[in-house]
Amino acid sequence: EPEVTQTPSHQVTQMGQEVILRCVPISNHLYFYWYRQILGQKVEFLVSFYNNEISEKSEIFDDQFSVERPDGSNFTLKIRSTKLEDSAMYFCASNSEHNYGYTFGSGTRLTVV
């Protein structure tokens, strides 16, 4: 069964450093998403991406965040200058139709120290 692949599974970074979280969505999917889950809290929407541009973003997704689909297969989330409160599990997801049939990656656990 096709999978959404996320790398790395764990990342530890120092406060103020840039991190890039990587995702390989399912190849024929058109819509791509990033979500985050702070430990003990619910999953929150960050951003959706379609047709090579951001289609929607939440208030969490400020200027420190950016997304890119650099080569037609990878979908990346960059955090420019990490803060302690960015520590969370970050999930990538994709689907072929908006709001239908989401497939999630297994997540990247980001720890900012």
Residue 31 φ then ψ, to 5°: -115, 135
Residue 22 as a binder of another protein (CB under 8 A): the answer is no
Binder of another protein out of 15, 54, 56, 73 (CB under 8 A): 56
Distance between CA atoms of 105 and 82, rounded to whole angstroms? 22
Options 14-22, 29-37, 61-69, 71-79: segment touching another protein (CB under 8 A): 29-37
Residues 93-112 that bind another protein (CB under 8 A): 93, 98-104, 106-107, 109
